[in-house]
Chains A and B, each alone.
Chain A
Amino acid sequence: MTDFSIIGKPIAMVDAAGKTTGAGKYTDDLSVPGMLVGRILHSPYPHARIRRIDSSRAEKLEGVVAIATGKDAPNTYGILPVGHDEHALAVDKVRYVGDNVACVAAVDEATADKALELMDVEYEVLPAYFDPEASMKADTDLIHDNKPRNLEKDYHHVFGDPEKGFAEADCVAEARFIANEVTHAAMEPHSTLASFEIDSQTGKPGRLIVWSSTQVPYYLQHKLSLVLEMPMAQIRVIKPLVGGGFGGKSEVIPLEIIAAVAARKARAPVKITYTREEVFWAHRGRPRTIVDLKTGVKRDGRITAVQARVVQDGGAYCSYGVVTILYSGALLGALYDIPNIQYDGYRVLTNKPACGAMRGHGTVNVRFAFESQLDELAAKINLDPAEIRQRNLLQPPCFTVNGLRVHSYGLPECIEKTVERSGWKERKGKLPRGRGLGIGCSHYVSGAANSIIRSDMPHSTVNIKIDRDGGVVVYTGASEIGQGSDTMTAQIAAETLGCSLGRIKIVAADTDLTPIDIGSYSSRVTFMAGNATLRAALEVKKQIAAAAAREMGCAAEAMVFCNDVVSRKNDAAEAPASTQAATRSEASVSGRVEGQLLRGSLQQKRKDKGPKDSMTFEEAVVAAIDFHGTLTGTGSYAPPPEARGGKYKGGGVGPSPAYSYSAQVAEVSVDEETGEVTVHKVWAAHDCGRALNPVSVEGQIIGSVWMGMGQALTEEMVWKDGMLMNPGLLEYRSPSSVESPEVEPIIVESIDPEGPFGAKECSEGSLAATIPAIANAIYDAVGVRLHEAPFTPERVLAALRAKKNSKPINLTEGVDPTSPAGFREHGGSLWFRGKGPERHPLDPARRPEPAQ
């Protein structure tokens, strides 16, 4: 069955050469004639009312073309229909340090920057909320007037009978886990270029073309249409190469709308590219999450009940928040068989940049808590941590207690393989003190079964056009963001049509050219766009087969497509390689420039010869076009109704047509003097259904594990009074090559019945298992449980000292407790482009302005 010629083989991505030669164009590499540079004025206050914006001084500056403010685009938007709470530019209030206030479009960056300094904005500073639990008690100065207690959304779900479940348990663990905020920090800073075309009929600005670093071109088109009040058909969104997303570009980022608003006002194309610091302010990362978790198990290791209370510090806007808080609860299911679940989730607004979707959306922090607690319970009942996981497996095909449908389930094999490869049984608990092994499991959706915008539309559609030149053009809305979307599409098309990869041309993610695809998020592309590609390819294949069969005088079903040759079933097996090669060389002649004429004569020759046993791909295509008139196929994919989840409120988030599974073992060492944790190796088994391109699958697994390790050990957004203390790649401490462990990816193929060639997700599911695997390995190494991620030396040391009952080191000892509790402008931030220690007007240390 595994007799494939293209899928399952490690191949270079179809766009790899563009990336390794520098020829590939990302948004910031583009320019159009007359293009202006846009720069955004950000709020210096976490919560303030805007009294007045005076741009007169800035406007007078030579080179400034336009200054846009909130009045130029007052409509609200947001990625979720229930969360339309953002303005492109602040209308009345700013809600976090870095909120967007105005945009200057000028001839160059230096002029635009200078103009920003000439902007006069008068603010009325309001009390701000930085801690989610304090924010939930607020009744005045709400962040959004229509959100009482600053609560974006709360959900309370009960499945089964948790009370009974806990009563049945022999052993119950209860603890609070905290995972601090992390961000995507994709290497490419967000960038958008917006340009209006002049309409030939009216002579006025007409259609808008936007090139943007986005994972979701169609959502961007939709939101632009809402804010600019233009019909969607008048907006064209093009996604050039995208330098990484991880969820940070999976919604409409303010600059994407601001660039269009500024271009409209300036009557010229405007490009805005964020500085690295602005990328940190744009954020939309994984929220700081407080998880109060309680789990009960029987003596044999069976889980009887789980109760979770989750509070997410969502930042100032809704973003994907409602979905995030639902994922956190829904994905407690579908990994293990848990009969009783109680979930209380709170998504809270605070005066910080909005959190959104990030790789492993919603599941990661809760999974860290759950897998750590499961480890603790295993120790309590004296069971091997790998064993306790094996005792709680699902029995698919099945529906979980919260209504998730599980088909293919490679978790048992994942656990088995990681345990085997890591030498778990021989080495666990037997390593020298300070060194340990830990295990963790996770899973993730292969695309959300319900799209953000409720409708019956297919989630992915793909068109294929084949012309007389024998070239296959695949039009897909799927967004390549570095994960290999275009390569996957080309592989599936080539495999299905039995043609070489070189024939396939991918036209992707251009709302004018490609059919709708809802975007690259929730790991949906391979499963959904892959299925759509498969269906489109099968449709054209059917047409080619019919025409070829007619030429060969046999049934269409008997046609075999392989190696650029279309042949009769029996002949394909018997035909010696030499004759196939001969036909191919003939074909390559017909494929050259003089093809049109030659092909005519080829057809003539064919007629003279009578029926053939095989045809080249080109001949078959020409026959099909002559017969059918055109050769196009279309395919689309929508998840089946039974996989769309339960009917309860919030039941729409979490269901997926298929889930990926991962099990990992991490080997770490802990320096008990310094508290420093080093990860030596991670064995990561991932069930991806089928590995269409093993090198890409392994790359995604390693990348996920690595990003998980970053969150586990070093990455953390450090806040002080609403001000980010580490808005730079070094300060954020993204691991470099010397801090990164060897990761051994192990591919497990469960062949999903509904996935394209059996394939499922492989880019996100592995991340969540890494954090608990490391936490559990630290416990194995030095016997302390860490309840707060990242496990920095400071936290590890504190835990070690607490265990020894020695006095914890208080790093903030001696800090003046009377220091202002409210907002203070930070002096040393790179932010404000080196404007330096500018202090808050209320700060007593502020020096009086020199007399002018």
Chain B
Amino acid sequence: MKKVLIDLRVNGRSYELAIEPSTLLLDALRLDLRLTGSKRGCDDSSCGACTVQVDGIPMLSCTMLAASCEGQEITTIEGVSEHGSLAAIQKAYGDWGGAQCGFCTPGFIMTVKHLLAVNPEPTEEEIRGALSGNLCRCTGYNQMYEAIRAAIVAEQKGIRPTSSLAQ
């Protein structure tokens, strides 16, 4: 198939890519931009490991055309860290055992970031509902809830994770 030139904005930077029109966003990210943080866990949008944010909304990049995202702001897991340090949610996922094998973690974090952006103090029920589009086979989800609650507390207290790293 003949390639086309598209402009993709990913994590605040613009990239000009020559891709086939049928290229999936996940493949453009992983193969063309080498942003391998977004994972392919299935091929049919059932697992959520490929979740990225498109204009702030979590989307499954494995079933989206890259070309359809021109002009939109894409955020991947690589764009979540703040100033070279872990964001509160990333730190909390590590501290509270929210990530075991870690393969589903990038997708979960993109989903959780959106949840906390629209609902800074979600109930347990709301957290469960929001996470139900992402699958994890290691954790049984329990420790993720603890991580999310810890991240909310950390954000509220304004604890910059950098301070704990500097020690």
Contacts and interface: CB of A to CB of B under 8 A. Distances in A.
Interface of A: 10, 12-13, 15-26, 28-29, 184-189, 241-246, 273, 275-277, 481-484, 695-696, 698-699, 702-703, 705-707, 728-730, 734, 736-738, 740, 742-743, 830
A187 B77 contact: no
Pairs A-B, 10 closest by C-beta atoms: A22-B37, A482-B101, A19-B102, A706-B140, A243-B103, A16-B94, A29-B36, A22-B77, A12-B94, A20-B90
Given A28-B40, A740-B140, 15 more contacts: A17-B90, A17-B94, A20-B93, A20-B94, A20-B105, A20-B109, A21-B90, A22-B36, A29-B30, A244-B101, A244-B137, A698-B143, A699-B143, A736-B131, A740-B141
B101 A188 contact: yes
A187 B139 contact: no
B8 interface: no
Nearest to A736: B132
A243 B47 CA distance: 13
Interface stretch (B53-61, B66-74, B78-86, B152-160): B78-86
A728 B42 contact: yes
A662 to B, nearest CB: 15
Contacts of B140: 702-703, 705-707, 740, 743
B14 interface: no
Contacts of A702: 139-140, 142-143
Given A17-B94, A695-B143, A23 B37 contact: yes
A698 B97 contact: yes
A729 B102 CA distance: 18
Contact of A187 (B41, B43, B129, B131): B41
Interface residues of B, number: 53
B28 interface: no
Contact of A21 (B37, B46, B127): B37
Contacts of A184: 137
A699 B141 CA distance: 9
Contacts of B96: 695
Given A187-B137, A730-B46, A734-B137, A19 B41 contact: no
A748 to B, nearest CB: 19
A188 B39 contact: yes
Contacts of B41: 187-189, 243, 276, 729
B119 to A, nearest CB: 15
A784 B132 CA distance: 31
B100 interface: yes
B43 to A, nearest CB: 5
Nearest to A13: B94
A481 B35 CA distance: 22
Contacts of A695: 95-97, 143
B124 to A, nearest CB: 9
B99 interface: yes
Q: Which of B40, B78, B127, B142 has the most CB of A within 10 A?
A: B142
A20 B99 contact: yes
B102 A20 contact: yes
Nearest to A275: B43
A729 B40 contact: no
A482 B100 contact: yes
Nearest to B34: A31
B132 A25 contact: no
B138 interface: yes
10 contacts: A23-B37, A187-B137, A243-B103, A275-B43, A276-B47, A698-B143, A705-B140, A729-B42, A737-B134, A737-B144
Which of A19, A275, A277, A702 has most B Cβ within 10 Å?
A19
A703 B135 contact: no
Interface centre among B36, B129, B137, B139 (most CB of A within 10 A): B137
